[in-house]
């Protein structure tokens, strides 16, 4: 009896435990069902937050599911999208189009990606189609991911249009330059004819000098008559008024004291050139008061044809220059693309024109040297017999001593002219994008100094060039690196406050890093930290008022970067700037 009661109690206990297990299973099932529902909801939410259009199709091209982006791109509510064929919404056609890449995806089983303009949507679409497979690797449908790329396509078309317009403008500017050169030659020919006419009428001019002085004083432009020692012999009323002096005060005064504020070479002044060449010379110069002058110098000759005086006509063009500078700022960005091409054409033409007469000078100097060797004994014999013999106003012993040096000076001057012209021509000559040449940095720095010699004399009396020894060659483009050196030196010169400030250029080789170093250091105005951070940005310039385009350092930075080098700036405002160019040495030539 007791055993039967115990068995029944155990059964009841086990039954209760089983009920608890069943209850726990039901609770777990309910929670799993909730999790599945939540997962589906979260997936649907994520699916609809994707900005690209996503549609899921079956093998019969029916859209079985789509996200909210599809509604925005197709411009239809979800119910309409899901009840139609994909080609009706995508292509606006009633039947599947032939050759559709996404349709081929159902056959090949390979994903595809393509771009297409849909006229009915007025949009460019980037479409990626990916096949869906069942467990047996059978294709059951396609997933489309579509992105609206209309804005990108429009930007590409606008960019191409802007590029075509720029090409057209470059072509037009080049044609204008050719026309301008032709007009310049015509103008030069006309000026020569005028010069001949002036010489023919010189005697008549002397007879009418008194009336002419009255006429000259009525001219609003400055007129100044100069002697060979650059003293003012006569000036008109306009010149006296321009410098706030009486005509008598200007007489016998040094001409350079009126204009010489930039520190440039006096040999570059039109008046000096006119005495040397005997031709009309023209130049634009700046005065000590900040005004700009268009200066023209005309030679006055004696009956033997020797230039005894120079008449200088100076017109105040300050307002014109200011207006031109403002105009250059507006159009500098548009014309910079063809500026270097135009400059190259002009420099090449000038170099050719200089080389022709220089060749005559050199060959004639060599011929005259041979003639002198043959003539010298004859002159010496004649002079020994005639002690009072003068040649060119000099005693014959002095002539015998001086003549070889004169001939040698002519020959050396001709060689120097040829060297300068060759540097200019090489600098201006178009070069193919070849960065595999052997570059001698010391030669490039020396060539840059030669090209900028006049600018160096204009800006400073303390220019120093120190070339390092045993510097290996650099692999790259000689013309491009020379362009960078010229740009850096010119920037340093323009940053100087006066001619007492120095510019120092040096080259060296860092054996540890295997870099060739070019350093340009000036004692100029310096730069702020903000300027240094932006100095290589295209079109950023601190010289906007003087016509700077802000492209020089940007181009230099790009050139050095293309040569795997670096361009570093160190500057203190009011103290000066140091620019360091580092270029990797050619491994074939490193010690």
pLDDT number for residue 549: 41
User: Token digits for 229?
Assistant: 């020692």
Residue 419: phi and psi, rounded to 5, are -65, -45
Q: What is the mean pLDDT of the chain?
A: 77
pLDDT number for residue 288: 67
Q: How many angstroms separate the CA atoms of 299 and 312, rounded?
A: 9
Q: What share of the chain is helix, strand, coil (3-state, %, to 5)?
A: 55, 20, 25
Q: How many angstroms separate the CA atoms of 98 and 110, rounded?
A: 18
Please determine, for residue 335, whether its predicted confidence score (pLDDT) is greater than 50: no
Residue 110: phi and psi, rounded to 5, are -105, 140
Range with the poorest average pLDDT among 150-154, 275-279, 419-423: 419-423
User: Token digits for 167?
Assistant: 């090409």
- For the chain, give the number of residues: 591
Q: What is the DSSP string of 472-518?
A: PPEEE-HHHHHHHHHHHHHHHHHT-SSTTSEEEEEEEEETTTTEEEE
Q: How many angstroms separate the CA atoms of 510 and 563, rounded?
A: 17
* pLDDT tier at 502, thresholds 50, 70, 90: very high
User: Token digits for 106?
Assistant: 């159902």
Please determine, for residue 164, whether its predicted confidence score (pLDDT) is greater than 90: no
419 vs 33, residue with greater confidence: 419
Q: How many angstroms separate the CA atoms of 126 and 516, rounded?
A: 49
434 vs 388, residue with greater confidence: 388
The residues with which 577 forms a beta bridge, in sequence order, are 522, 571
For 567-586, write each residue's pLDDT tens digit. Answer: 888 988 888 999 999 999 88
Q: Residue 305 in contact with residue 198, Cβ under 8 Å?
A: no
SS3 210: helix
Please determine, for residue 155, whether its predicted confidence score (pLDDT) is greater than 80: yes
Q: Looking at the domain covering 201-316, what would its CATH class be?
A: alpha beta
The CA–CA distances, whole Å, from 52 to 63, 72, 74, 115, 322 equal 16, 10, 12, 14, 55
* pLDDT tier at 546, thresholds 50, 70, 90: very low
pTM of the model: 0.35
What mean pLDDT comes out for the span 329-356?
57
What mean pLDDT comes out for the span 500-513?
92
pLDDT number for residue 509: 92
pLDDT number for residue 550: 41
What mean pLDDT comes out for the span 483-511?
90
What mean pLDDT comes out for the span 167-176?
86
Q: How many angstroms separate the CA atoms of 457 and 367, rounded?
A: 34
Listed in sequence order, the residues at least 6 apart from 521 whose beta carbon sits closer than 8 Å to its beta carbon are 492, 503, 504, 505, 506, 576, 577, 578, 579
Please determine, for residue 234, whether its predicted confidence score (pLDDT) is greater than 70: yes
414 vs 94, residue with greater confidence: 414
Please determine, for residue 507, whether its predicted confidence score (pLDDT) is greater than 90: yes
User: Token digits for 308?
Assistant: 């005894």
pLDDT number for residue 519: 94
Q: How many angstroms separate the CA atoms of 21 and 40, rounded?
A: 29
561 vs 422, residue with greater confidence: 561
pLDDT number for residue 460: 92
pLDDT number for residue 334: 44
Q: How many angstroms separate the CA atoms of 277 and 299, rounded?
A: 9
Q: How many angstroms separate the CA atoms of 89 and 86, rounded?
A: 6
Query: What is the CATH number that goes with domain 431-584?
Result: 3.30.565.10
What mean pLDDT comes out for the span 80-102?
69
Q: Report the candidate in 252, 295, 255, 298 with the shortest Cα–Cα distance to residue 275.
A: 298
Q: How many angstroms separate the CA atoms of 572 and 578, rounded?
A: 9
User: Token digits for 374?
Assistant: 């043959």
User: Token digits for 129?
Assistant: 């189609």
Residue spans in the chain of domains classed CATH 3.30.565.10 = 431-584
H or E stretch covering 430: none
Name the one residue in this structure whose structure tokens are 């032709």: 182
Listed in sequence order, the residues at least 6 apart from 109 whose beta carbon sits closer than 8 Å to its beta carbon are 131, 133, 139
End-to-end CA distance of the chain: 113
Q: 50-148, superfamily in CATH? A: PAS domain (3.30.450.20)
pLDDT number for residue 41: 54
| Percent above pLDDT 70 for the chain | 76
Q: How many angstroms separate the CA atoms of 583 and 355, rounded?
A: 34
What mean pLDDT comes out for the span 229-239?
86
pLDDT number for residue 333: 44
A 10 A CB-CB count for 184 gives: 12
For 235-266, write each residue's pLDDT tens digit. Answer: 888 888 877 888 888 888 888 877 654 455 67
* pLDDT tier at 515, thresholds 50, 70, 90: very high
pLDDT number for residue 541: 56
Q: 407-434 burial by CB neighbour count: b if 16+ within 10 A, else e? A: beebbeebeebbebbebbbebbeeeeee
H or E stretch covering 193: helix 150-200
Q: Report the candidate in 398, 418, 322, 408 with the shortest Cα–Cα distance to residue 366.
A: 408
Residue spans in the chain of domains classed CATH 3.30.450.20 = 50-148, 201-316
A 10 A CB-CB count for 575 gives: 12
Q: How many angstroms separate the CA atoms of 211 and 204, rounded?
A: 12
* pLDDT tier at 57, thresholds 50, 70, 90: confident
* pLDDT tier at 185, thresholds 50, 70, 90: confident
pLDDT number for residue 424: 62
Q: Virtual CA dihedral for 335, 336, 341, 343, nearest 10 degrees?
A: 90
Q: How many angstroms separate the CA atoms of 59 and 81, rounded?
A: 16
A 10 A CB-CB count for 508 gives: 16
Q: Residue 229 in contact with residue 256, Cβ under 8 Å?
A: no
For 269-314, write each residue's pLDDT tens digit. Answer: 888 889 888 888 888 887 767 788 888 999 999 888 899 999 888 8
Please determine, for residue 28, whether its predicted confidence score (pLDDT) is greater than 70: no
Q: Virtual CA dihedral for 276, 278, 284, 288, nearest 10 degrees?
A: 50
The residues with which 580 forms a beta bridge, in sequence order, are 519, 568
User: Token digits for 431?
Assistant: 């070069």
């Amino acid at each position: 009896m007791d055993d039967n009661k115990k068995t029944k109690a155990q059964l009841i206990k086990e039954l209760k435990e089983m009920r608890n297990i069943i209850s726990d299973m039901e609770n777990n099932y309910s929670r799993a069902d909730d999790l599945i529902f939540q997962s589906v909801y979260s997936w649907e939410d994520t699916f609809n937050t994707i900005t690209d259009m996503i549609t899921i199709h079956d093998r019969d091209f029916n859209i079985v599911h789509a996200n909210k982006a599809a509604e925005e791109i197709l411009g239809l509510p979800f119910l309409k999208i899901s009840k139609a064929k994909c080609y009706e919404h995508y292509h606006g056609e009633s039947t599947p189009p032939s050759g559709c890449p996404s349709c081929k995806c159902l056959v090949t089983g390979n994903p595809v990606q393509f771009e297409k303009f849909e006229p009915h949507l007025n949009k460019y679409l980037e479409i990626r189609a990916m096949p869906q497979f069942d467990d047996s690797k059978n294709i059951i449908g396609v997933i489309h991911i579509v992105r609206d790329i209309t804005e990108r396509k429009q930007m590409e078309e606008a960019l191409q249009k802007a590029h075509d317009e720029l090409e057209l403008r470059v072509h037009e500017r080049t044609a204008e330059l050719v026309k301008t050169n032709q007009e310049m030659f015509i103008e030069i020919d006309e000026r020569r004819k005028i010069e001949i006419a002036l010489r023919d009428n010189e005697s008549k001019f002397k007879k009418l000098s008194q009336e002419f002085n009255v006429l000259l004083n009525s001219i609003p432009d400055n007129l100044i008559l100069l002697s060979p020692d650059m003293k003012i012999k006569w000036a008109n009323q306009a010149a006296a008024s321009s410098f706030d002096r009486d005509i008598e005060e200007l007489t016998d005064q040094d001409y350079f004291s009126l204009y010489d504020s930039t520190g440039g070479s006096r040999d570059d002044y039109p008046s000096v050139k006119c005495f040397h060449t005997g031709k009309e010379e023209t130049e634009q110069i700046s005065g000590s008061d900040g005004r700009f002058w268009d200066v023209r110098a005309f030679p006055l000759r004696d009956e033997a044809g020797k230039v005894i005086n120079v008449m200088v006509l100076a017109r105040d063009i300050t307002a014109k220059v200011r207006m031109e500078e403002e105009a250059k700022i507006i159009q500098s960005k548009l014309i910079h693309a063809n500026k270097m091409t135009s400059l190259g054409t002009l420099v090449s033409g000038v170099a050719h024109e200089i080389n022709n007469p220089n060749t005559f000078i050199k060959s004639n100097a060599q011929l005259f040297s041979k003639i002198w060797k043959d003539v010298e004994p004859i002159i010496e014999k004649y002079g020994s017999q005639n002690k009072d013999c003068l040649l060119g106003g000099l005693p014959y012993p002095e002539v015998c001593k001086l003549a070889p040096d004169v001939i040698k000076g002519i020959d050396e001057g001709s060689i120097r002219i040829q060297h300068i012209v060759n540097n200019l021509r090489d600098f201006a000559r178009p070069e193919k994008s070849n960065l595999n040449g052997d570059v001698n940095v010391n030669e490039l720095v020396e060539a840059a100094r030669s090209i900028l010699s006049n600018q160096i004399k204009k800006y400073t009396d303390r220019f120093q060039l120190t070339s390092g020894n045993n510097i290996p060659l650099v692999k790259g483009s000689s013309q491009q690196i020379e362009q960078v050196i010229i740009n850096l030196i010119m920037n340093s010169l323009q940053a100087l406050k006066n001619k007492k400030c120095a510019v120092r250029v040096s080259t060296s080789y860092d054996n540890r890093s295997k870099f060739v170093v070019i350093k340009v250091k000036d004692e100029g105005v310096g730069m702020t930290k903000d300027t240094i951070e932006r100095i290589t940005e295209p079109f950023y310039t601190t010289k906007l008022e003087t016509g700077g385009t802000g492209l020089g350092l940007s181009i230099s930075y790009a050139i050095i970067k293309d040569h795997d080098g670096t361009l570093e700036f160190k500057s203190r405002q009011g103290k000066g700037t140091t620019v360091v160019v580092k270029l990797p040495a050619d491994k074939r030539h490193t010690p």
